[in-house]
Homo-oligomer: A and B are copies of this chain.
Amino acid sequence: MKYEFNNDRKFDVIAIGRACIDLNAAEYNRPMEDTMTFKKYVGGSPINIAIGSSKLGLKVGFIGKISDDQHGRYIERYVREVGVDTSNIVIDDEGHKTGLTFTEIKSPEDCSILMYREEVADLYLKPEEVHEDYIKQAKVLLVSGTALSKSPSREAILKAVSLAKRNNVKVIFELDYRPYSWKSTEETAVYYSLIAEQSDIVIGTRDEYDMMEHTTGGTNEQTIHYLFQHSPNLVVIKHGVEGSYAYAKSGEIFKGNAYKTKVLKTFGAGDSYASAFLYALINGKDIETALKYGSASASIVVSKHSSSDAMPTVDEIEGLISTRV
């Protein structure tokens, strides 16, 4: 089964949301207290997906707000150099800072992060900074959930989704749940379900869907029963090392398996998965193949040090798939 996109559009994907800085432990296998050096990378789910998609050859744009300082300038330059259109990235003029994520790599199974998300620039994107003229040039609007956690970014996303639907732009919602910025799980459920109901494709982990449905121990059947009453016609649910499922509204179900690899850390798996899945779908691959692309891309990124800089090429992904039939 293939997925149809509107082909007379300038951009394959426009992603919207946060663009931040990751500070990754340069020394591994120790707690962060013992890590004395950190390496700087661009980070944040939607910008990672934009970077990953662009490196795979898609035409990608990005809507977001960055700080007016060295970190903001670094982000803009980096993503521009990997081919992402930065014309709709807004520079904050109210003194907000770039969000930071320090990573701790104790072992491949035990990674944790320390986030700086107070008054960060990305959450200050305003609805008036989201433009219909830009969004209508895309096949896909990619939304990630964290941008819904605070006003005015929340309203910017609501407006972007409304503009996408008005202009027949497919909305892909990557749930990307981060507890940090949310006031309550009730609040999260309200906005996650609001956007999911209006999306064409929803991607997330089983836990993230539980968050959306304000439940625990929910099943994939409940999730698709709920979402298929609304706009979505493709729902991807990830179950970690057990692989992922894609449910089509037509009734078909596709299973994707995880590719084993030597894991360095778990960060970045979701973003690399989404960019390769999206690449395959937009390039007319069937859904089963798209699931393989996603898994292979995730497998490559978790074996490397960064989430953004490590995004693979098509050759790397197809190489891995070909060796693992």
Contacts and interface: CB of A to CB of B under 8 A. Distances in A.
A102 interface: yes
Contacts of A100: 100, 116
A122 B230 CA distance: 31
Contacts of A155: 186-187, 190-191
Interface in A195-214: none
B35 A38 contact: no
Contact of A70 (B32, B70, B119, B191): B32
A40 interface: yes
Contact of A102 (B70, B104, B114, B159): B70
Contact of A151 (B36, B97, B102, B187): B187
Given A33-B77, A159-B190, A190-B159, A184 B128 contact: yes
Contact of A114 (B71, B159, B189, B191): B71
Contact of A158 (B73, B114, B194): B194
Contact of A69 (B26, B114, B158): B114
A127 B189 CA distance: 10
Given A36-B40, A37-B37, A69-B114, A186 B128 contact: yes
Categorize the interface residue count of chain A. Answer: 35 or more
Contact of A38 (B31, B33, B40, B127): B40
Contacts of A119: 118-119
Interface of A: 23, 26, 31-33, 35-40, 69-71, 73-74, 77, 97, 100, 102, 104, 114, 116, 118-119, 126-128, 151-152, 155, 158-159, 162, 183-184, 186-187, 189-191, 193-194
24 contacts: A23-B38, A32-B71, A33-B70, A33-B73, A37-B37, A37-B39, A38-B38, A69-B114, A70-B114, A71-B114, A97-B114, A100-B100, A116-B116, A127-B187, A127-B190, A151-B151, A151-B183, A151-B187, A152-B187, A158-B190, A158-B194, A159-B190, A162-B193, A162-B194
